[in-house]
Structure 1
Amino acid sequence: MTITTTTQEQQHDVVIMGGGLAGLTLALQLKKRFPDIDVLVLERRAHPVPHAAHKVGESSVEIGAHYFDTVLGLEPHMHGEQLRKFGFRFFFSEGRRDIDRVTEIGASRYLSVPSYQIDRGIFENYLAEEAARRGVKFTDHAMVRQIDLADDAQGLHRLSWTQDGQTNVIAARWIVDACGRAGLLKRKLGLAAPNAHDAHAVWFRISDRITLDDWSDDPEWRARCTPQARWLSTNHLVGAGYWVWLIPLASGSHSVGIVADPRYHPLDTMDSFEKAMDWFAQYQPRLFDELDGKRHLLQDFAFFKNFSYGCKQVFSGQRWALTGEAGLFLDPFYSPGSDFIAIANTYITDLIGHDRAGHSVEARAQLYDQIYHSFYESTLALYQDQYGLFGDPEVLPVKVIWDYSYYWGVLSQIFFHDRLTDLALLGSLKDELQHCQRLNTAVQALLRAWSGSSEKRNVAQMLDHAALPWFAELNRSLTDTLDDAQFSARIHASVALLRQLALEIHARAMACDPALDDGDLRALLAQHWPANAAVECTMLFDAVSGNAVEAA
């Protein structure tokens, strides 16, 4: 890697502290929008970084994938050097070796919108090289020592950093913290904010494939998927209070992790590789069998306690911002990390654009901060106090359908159709968006209550998302091109779909236990909303192979 050094104070338009996924993608997005912009990225690590055992966060979902391949124009790399993900897949396999005889959730074929399994080492090396090709100044082995923010709207920020014992002082109009959990600006400004989601994770990589498809020789079970490549999915092995991830990497390694609520599975039962293996032997014995003979292929092991956190502010009219884990972090379930990087970077790019055009960004930064935090709060509801139902083969499949529908129907529509920074249009849809958020909170509470009463029948079946026409179409609809009127109609249709889905979930839960506390959901569903969209989502799994569900 070519090193850029400074012997006297230099001035830049934007200095990004951190040359990982968040910082480098922001640099590329800025350069794509403003070819003449002067961007300096300071990265603490030496480059190139190692493949496989570099960082977690290897699974992307639709927003993050669209950001990488389309917004940033990285499709040739994503298709050629990374793995296309075969969606999410869940197995209720606790204590079982016969994975073909438990309930499986997933799609039997690829849906329309791609997502990727990302080897972070390969990707971040490529991003650094691509950033340099596009004119970004990238400096590795750089340690930020001091940040002095400007006192007024026109002054320059100043930053000192060291490299190979030499101190460099630079000035910048914008400073962006993308340095991960080190959170330099967050610490300096006292922005750390805990949340109520308590969970921990342990993970490691092994230098071999885990081909889950070979865990059964049942030809019928194998033939349920086309291609017969379940191993390309982000596979979740689930139980009450935890989930295990299996993520393949393009380098040939496999990423394995355990994420758990400490009320069910304390961290000290899994905080070393040997402890994790003992834990697998008890809770996921088929995975233990797979790994036991591969202990010598271990590449790394790490863990985080209480990994989820918020941030009081991420965008400022004083020309600073935070992105990625320097700001906030939710949970690896559903892999929202790259989504929130995409959203934050898009807001930062837009703020810098307004500033370059000579406009004040104070009010816009405040609004973006509010919207970003509303996305965070609504997504946090998917996780907080929900780990207990992860082992429920009756309720978790319903939750997954709801969570996907909420994600594809609202946030994904906003991002894919490039309305993230259209404040006027989003403002006109404020009531609809807030109603969806309230519906989500109420449905999550009902799902939690329902799981307390369900029989948790673990039937040998595949709940096939691809067999639900309305669900597959919701995914495909992200590829449409919409004008403003059509986009507004799409959000209204999403409200109608989510209300219909919530009605069905409510009916099924109450049929299971009429005494369930349905909280605010009944009142929300009693509100009148225009029925301006034909919704064909009745009966969650009627069309699913091997699972005929009677009407509630």
Structure 2
Amino acid sequence: MADSFEVAILGGGLAAQCLARHLRRAGVTGPIVVIDRGALPIPATTLKLGESTVEAGAWYLGQRLGLHDRLLAEHEMKFGLRFFFSAGNNDDVGDRLELGPQHAARFRRGLRPPAYQLHRGRLEHMLTRLNEAAGVTMWPGTLVGEITLATTNERHRVELRDQASGRARTIHARWLIDASGRAGLLTRPQQLRRPLAHRVRVAHGWVAGRIDPERWTARPEFGDRIEPDLRWRSTVHLIGPGYSIWMIPVDPQITSIGVVARAGGGVLDPISDAATLNRWLAEREPQLAATIARSAWIDGPHFGDVEAHVSRVVVSPRRFAVCGEAAAHLDPLYSSGFDLLAIANELIVATVLDDAQARPLAPICEQRNVVFAQVARQLLSVYADAYRLLDAPRIATHKITWDIATYLGYLAPLIMSGTFAQAQPLADHIQIAARVVRLNRRMQQLFSSWRARAGRAGHEVPSVNLAHLPPVASCFARLGDMDPSDPPARWHQLLRDNLRLLEDQAIATFLDAAADLGLTLPDGRIDAHAISLEPRAWAADGLILREPTPHDTETAEQRVSATRRGMSGQGSLSSPLVLEPDTRSPSPADRSPA
């Protein structure tokens, strides 16, 4: 007789283990099985990519899955993203423009919301053991054969074979989840995987020891900016023409290193082994190359091209679903993998619970699949032209700052509010979300246009402190004050306030770009939703607001000025802002369709 399960998860990696724990904590008490061809649990010493989280993905692990205390005890607290842009031959990090947080006291007190640097093997091992203790069945060393999806209210059928004994078995499951990553045990035969127009080449591996940029310079001003022993806790990116290099502390004895560039004509295309990679690094990043030579690779380097993709379906009314890398993979630059994992799992768990309540799944699944696809498209727009802009530090600092602000002000609150799977709160947020998406589209176009006109624009300041930028600092601080249990109306107000802060950031960037290019601006207050670097379009788009804005004009201009000072390296620590009620009418550009 075939074994029968409420949920069968194909694949036993991080997405699968997170989903199994999420289902149990959400009240799914029926039998759950996790099936994988490899070991379960994996050895805690296993090294795997995907070690860095950002705020929303970290919230999912720490709060939704209840792992915060364990993560603090067994992994590293992350001190944000940190970028060093090329200067000369990059032989002294003290000469490079540094973009990142410098608020040491806030970090020491404990950032809210937090993010983590993870040892993936240790995390997956722990999750598997916790799931076993919660009654989740683990079938390691098991190959998945023929899958027969149910067409009615019957259960799905999956043929399995134990690798060691060759014994065949059949299972039935009400819900079938593809968590098999690139193997795509469901997405490939069902033709669900949709390639996206974005491909990168990656060279990655792990080296022994901790890599601390503070050891790469003797310049006193570099050490004076941040107290010692903090920079290495960030996800550090070394930025050069056409490439980004990550450095992530996996634990005190291991650092993850990855080089990413555009595939097909990118600077990494000729690199295929350790020797050529080491020579490439010695030429472009001599300080990192010397560190690796002293420490040596302990795993890798590994090479490959990665094409972005998204599944056409995340939840199906036929009671199957897709999560983790099987659902979407975009780009490693901003560590968005955990966020996509969190969104997919939120949608899947909510749909399983809806099914248990006998709710009609077709309209629910349609809306949730649209939401996931929209988020993936929004994130992809951030990456589309990123590597071409990295060789222009002045433009790249504005772009990265904008990308961080939109994440903290828009995407992270949507995930952390828990409203992705709730129809009415989500509908209430859609109008604001659409305005952010349109604004982001204009900003990404502005960055590309700025780069095309200005060329490889340098930056004359030594550092930009994210805590000195009012929109970024306020979006972060406000997010830390929120709780998922807060009513939807409070989250809605947060999104409204954050939109105004993002408008300030957009205007500050536009003013800097216009000044850089020598453009003469008309008098009047600027509408963020109409900005561009095409003067002939300004009048038709409504660049200058004609209607009075009585409540917030002066303070908004002050925020814009403070943001520009921060971007020039002359800012001061920004406290969370108190905003006046917003009474503005939408501009002609803001009324355009999404």
What TM-score bracket applies, with the shorter chain setting the length?
over 0.9
**Paired residue type of 2:84:** F
**Paired residue type of 2:425:** L
CA contact (8 A) 2:42 2:121 kept: yes
Counterpart pick for 1:9 among 2, 6, 18:
2
Following TM superposition, by how much is the alpha carbon of 1:461 offset from its aligned partner in structure 2, in angstroms? 1.1
SS of aligned partner of 1:255: strand
SS of aligned partner of 1:86: coil
Structure 1 residues 356 and 204, CA, compared in 2 at 3 Å: closer, same or farther? same
Single out whichever of 27-36 and 530-539 deviates more from structure 2.
Answer: 530-539
**2:70 corresponds to:** 77
**2:522 corresponds to:** none
**1:347 corresponds to:** 347
Single out whichever of 330-339 and 244-253 deviates more from structure 2.
Answer: 244-253
Counterpart pick for 2:61 among 61, 68, 74:
68
Separation of aligned partners in 1, 2:506 and 2:130: 45
**1:490 corresponds to:** 494
Q: How does 1:134-533 map to 2 (within 5 A)?
A: 134-152=134-152, 154-163=153-162, 164=164, 165-226=166-227, 228-250=229-251, 252-262=253-263, 265-295=266-296, 297-454=297-454, 456-459=457-460, 461-479=462-480, 480-481=482-483, 482-513=486-517, 516-517=533-534, 523=541
Matched, 1:46 2:39: yes
Matched, 1:27 2:27: no
Separation of aligned partners in 2, 1:200 and 1:530: 50
SS of aligned partner of 1:15: strand
Following TM superposition, by how much is the alpha carbon of 1:300 offset from its aligned partner in structure 2, in angstroms? 2.4
SS of aligned partner of 1:247: strand
Structure 1 residues 521 and 493, CA, compared in 2 at 3 Å: closer, same or farther? farther
SS of aligned partner of 2:509: helix
CA contact (8 A) 1:43 1:141 kept: yes
Single out whichever of 354-363 and 35-44 deviates more from structure 2.
Answer: 35-44
Deviations 1:122-156 (A, max 9, x none): 1111111111112211221121112110012x110
Structure 1 residues 146 and 22, CA, compared in 2 at 3 Å: closer, same or farther? same
**1:3 corresponds to:** none
Separation of aligned partners in 2, 1:386 and 1:525: 26
**Paired residue type of 1:208:** G
Deviations 1:12-66 (A, max 9, x none): 0000111111010000000001152321111221144345653211110001100
Separation of aligned partners in 2, 1:524 and 1:505: 18
**Paired residue type of 2:222:** W
CA contact (8 A) 2:512 2:564 kept: no
Following TM superposition, by how much is the alpha carbon of 1:546 offset from its aligned partner in structure 2, in angstroms? 4.5
Deviations 1:96-135 (A, max 9, x none): 1110111000001234321011111111111111111122
Structure 1 residues 151 and 498, CA, compared in 2 at 3 Å: closer, same or farther? same
Separation of aligned partners in 1, 2:508 and 2:459: 21
Following TM superposition, by how much is the alpha carbon of 1:213 offset from its aligned partner in structure 2, in angstroms? 1.8
Structure 1 residues 135 and 520, CA, compared in 2 at 3 Å: closer, same or farther? farther
**Paired residue type of 1:288:** A
**Paired residue type of 1:417:** S
CA contact (8 A) 1:442 1:521 kept: no
**2:565 corresponds to:** 542
CA contact (8 A) 2:80 2:101 kept: yes
SS of aligned partner of 2:187: helix
Following TM superposition, by how much is the alpha carbon of 1:242 offset from its aligned partner in structure 2, in angstroms? 1.1
Separation of aligned partners in 2, 1:473 and 1:242: 30
Separation of aligned partners in 2, 1:33 and 1:214: 46
Structure 2: gaps spanning 5 or more residues: 520-532, 573-594
SS of aligned partner of 1:135: coil
Structure 1 residues 430 and 541, CA, compared in 2 at 3 Å: closer, same or farther? same
SS of aligned partner of 1:424: helix
**Paired residue type of 1:184:** L
Structure 1 residues 457 and 24, CA, compared in 2 at 3 Å: closer, same or farther? same
Alignment root-mean-square deviation, CA: 2.4
Following TM superposition, by how much is the alpha carbon of 1:367 offset from its aligned partner in structure 2, in angstroms? 0.3
**Paired residue type of 1:277:** N
Single out whichever of 181-190 and 504-513 deviates more from structure 2.
Answer: 504-513
Separation of aligned partners in 2, 1:529 and 1:378: 31
SS of aligned partner of 2:444: helix
Separation of aligned partners in 2, 1:52 and 1:443: 42
Deviations 1:332-365 (A, max 9, x none): 1110000110010010000000001111211101
Separation of aligned partners in 1, 2:44 and 2:334: 23
Deviations 1:189-227 (A, max 9, x none): 011211111212110111222122211233331231245
CA contact (8 A) 1:222 1:228 kept: no
Following TM superposition, by how much is the alpha carbon of 1:494 offset from its aligned partner in structure 2, in angstroms? 2.1
Following TM superposition, by how much is the alpha carbon of 1:460 offset from its aligned partner in structure 2, in angstroms? 5.4
**1:5 corresponds to:** none
**Paired residue type of 2:123:** F
Separation of aligned partners in 1, 2:5 and 2:82: 45
Following TM superposition, by how much is the alpha carbon of 1:474 offset from its aligned partner in structure 2, in angstroms? 1.2
CA contact (8 A) 1:199 1:262 kept: yes
**1:92 corresponds to:** 85
Deviations 1:280-323 (A, max 9, x none): 0111111111112233x432222231331222222211101101
Separation of aligned partners in 2, 1:449 and 1:287: 32
Single out whichever of 219-228 and 491-500 deviates more from structure 2.
Answer: 219-228
Separation of aligned partners in 2, 1:265 and 1:332: 16
**Paired residue type of 2:39:** A
Separation of aligned partners in 2, 1:524 and 1:424: 33
Structure 1 residues 141 and 528, CA, compared in 2 at 3 Å: closer, same or farther? farther
Separation of aligned partners in 2, 1:519 and 1:303: 46
**Paired residue type of 1:440:** N
Separation of aligned partners in 2, 1:70 and 1:186: 29
Name the structure, 1 or 2, with higher relative contact order (CA <8 Å, separation 6+): 1
**Paired residue type of 2:497:** A
CA contact (8 A) 2:210 2:252 kept: no
**Paired residue type of 1:201:** V
**Paired residue type of 1:377:** R
Separation of aligned partners in 1, 2:169 and 2:444: 51
Single out whichever of 388-397 and 475-484 deviates more from structure 2.
Answer: 475-484
SS of aligned partner of 2:197: coil
Following TM superposition, by how much is the alpha carbon of 1:548 offset from its aligned partner in structure 2, in angstroms? 6.5
**Paired residue type of 1:494:** N
CA contact (8 A) 1:308 1:331 kept: yes
Separation of aligned partners in 1, 2:3 and 2:122: 31
**Paired residue type of 1:542:** R
CA contact (8 A) 2:312 2:369 kept: no
Deviations 1:380-437 (A, max 9, x none): 0000122111122101111122111111111111122222222212213322211110
Separation of aligned partners in 2, 1:208 and 1:51: 18
Aligned residues: 540
SS of aligned partner of 1:185: coil
Single out whichever of 376-385 and 447-456 deviates more from structure 2.
Answer: 447-456
Separation of aligned partners in 2, 1:519 and 1:342: 43
**2:579 corresponds to:** none
SS of aligned partner of 2:306: coil
Following TM superposition, by how much is the alpha carbon of 1:470 offset from its aligned partner in structure 2, in angstroms? 4.2
TM-score, length-normalised on structure 1? 0.92
**1:106 corresponds to:** 100
Structure 1 residues 513 and 183, CA, compared in 2 at 3 Å: closer, same or farther? same
Structure 1 residues 525 and 342, CA, compared in 2 at 3 Å: closer, same or farther? farther
TM-score, length-normalised on structure 2? 0.86
CA contact (8 A) 1:101 1:460 kept: no
**Paired residue type of 1:487:** W
Following TM superposition, by how much is the alpha carbon of 1:521 offset from its aligned partner in structure 2, in angstroms? 8.9
